[in-house]
Structures are given as structure tokens and as C-alpha cells.
């Protein structure tokens, strides 16, 4: 088996903040096969050979029409049998969103409301965790517990 056969697509989602300090959330379209009607963050999968910053900028623009700057990774987690997911923050000097076909609505909310929002999707749940904990590397099992516990990294 070749190493590239073991590598699964990496995903990245983003807490986009506007100049008023509000965070963008997107509502998944009603015909979404997995998370219909739930609030989520902009982002998606990186294309083969695509760098993290370029991929995140592309995904956010595709889903919202926004251009982002000041990108910072704030954590990573695994899901779907070990697929790597990254969580980032970014800034947009515009709050005029054009939602893609994947979403039906958007909202700019206070960060405190974001933390209190009942997370339906894994990406929003992970972002909430990163904002409220010091731990920056977690796995899917951690997100499904009430109080995640640190895990040792193994090789």
C-alpha cells in the first residue's frame, strides 16, 4: 500500500469574524443529506496539493462570497475514521454574505451566543470546544463526551 492511499481528504472550517466582532454561521440547506437545517461554519475539504490558507480562502469565498484575511489555526480534530479536520479563525472587512447552494441562511452572532448555541454539526461543536478549552488537538470521541479528556499521542 502506498502512503498516498492512506491519506484522506483534509477539511478546514473557519470562525469568520467581521469588524464588529460578530461570528458568521451558516444554516445547512434543507436537502442536505446529513445536517439539514443545522447551523455550521464556512469551510470544506482541501483539494489535492492545495495549501491550507489557499484552500480555506477558496472554501469561504465559494460558500459566502467573502474574502478573508488574518487566518490563524486554532485547533485540529479527527473524524470519519481518522480524517483530519482543522479549525481556524479569520477576519472579513465585509459582512455582506451570498450563501451558496449548500446553505439557506446566514447570521452574524456574538461569540458568547456562538459558544451557547446548541451544536448540531461536528465542526461547530469543535470550534466551541477550541474557544472554551486550552486543548487544541482532539478526536471525535472527545467531542461526543460531556467533558473531553486529553489523550496521549501514539505512533
- pLDDT tens for residues 86-122? 999 999 999 999 999 888 999 999 999 988 887 667 8
Distance of CA 20 to the CA centre of its chain: 21
The CA distance from 140 to 78, in Å, is: 6
Q: Which residue has the higher pLDDT, 9 or 49?
A: 49
Find residue 83's DSSP bridge partners: 79
The confidence score (pLDDT) of residue 16 equals: 98
Question: What is the rounded average pLDDT of the residues 72-82?
Answer: 82
Looking only at Cα atoms, what is the longest distance across the chain? 50
The confidence score (pLDDT) of residue 48 equals: 86
Grid coordinates belonging to 20: 464588529
Tell me the domains of the chain and their CATH numbers.
8-143 (3.90.79.10)
pLDDT over 90 (residue 132):
no
3-state SS class at 150: coil
The confidence score (pLDDT) of residue 154 equals: 34
Contact predicate 37/105, CB 8 Å: no
Distances (CA, A) of 132 to 110, 137, 143: 15, 13, 13
- Which tens digits make up the pLDDT trace of 17-70? 999 999 999 988 877 777 777 888 999 999 988 999 999 999 999 999 999 999
Q: What is the pTM of this model?
A: 0.82
The confidence score (pLDDT) of residue 97 equals: 97
Contact predicate 66/83, CB 8 Å: no
Main-chain phi, psi angles of 59, to 5 degrees: -60, -45
Nearest C-alpha neighbor of 82 from the set 139, 24, 16: 139
Q: How confident is the model at residue 84 (pLDDT cuts 50, 70, 90)?
A: confident
3-state SS class at 77: strand
Amino acid at each position: 500500500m502506498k502512503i498516498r492511499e492512506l491519506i484522506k481528504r483534509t477539511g478546514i472550517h473557519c470562525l469568520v469574524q467581521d469588524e464588529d466582532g460578530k461570528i458568521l454561521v451558516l444554516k445547512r440547506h434543507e436537502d442536505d443529506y446529513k445536517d439539514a437545517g443545522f447551523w455550521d461554519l464556512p469551510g470544506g475539504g482541501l483539494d489535492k496539493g492545495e495549501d491550507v490558507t489557499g484552500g480555506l480562502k477558496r472554501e469561504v469565498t465559494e460558500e459566502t462570497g467573502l474574502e478573508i484575511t488574518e487566518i490563524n489555526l486554532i485547533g485540529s480534530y479527527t473524524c470519519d475514521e481518522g480524517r483530519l479536520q482543522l479549525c481556524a479563525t479569520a477576519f472579513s472587512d465585509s459582512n455582506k454574505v451570498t450563501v451558496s447552494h449548500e446553505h439557506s441562511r446566514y447570521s452574524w452572532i456574538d461569540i458568547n451566543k456562538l459558544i451557547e448555541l446548541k451544536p448540531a454539526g461536528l465542526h461547530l461543536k469543535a470550534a466551541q470546544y477550541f474557544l472554551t478549552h486550552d486543548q487544541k488537538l482532539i478526536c471525535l470521541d472527545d467531542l461526543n463526551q460531556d467533558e473531553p479528556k486529553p489523550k496521549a499521542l501514539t505512533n
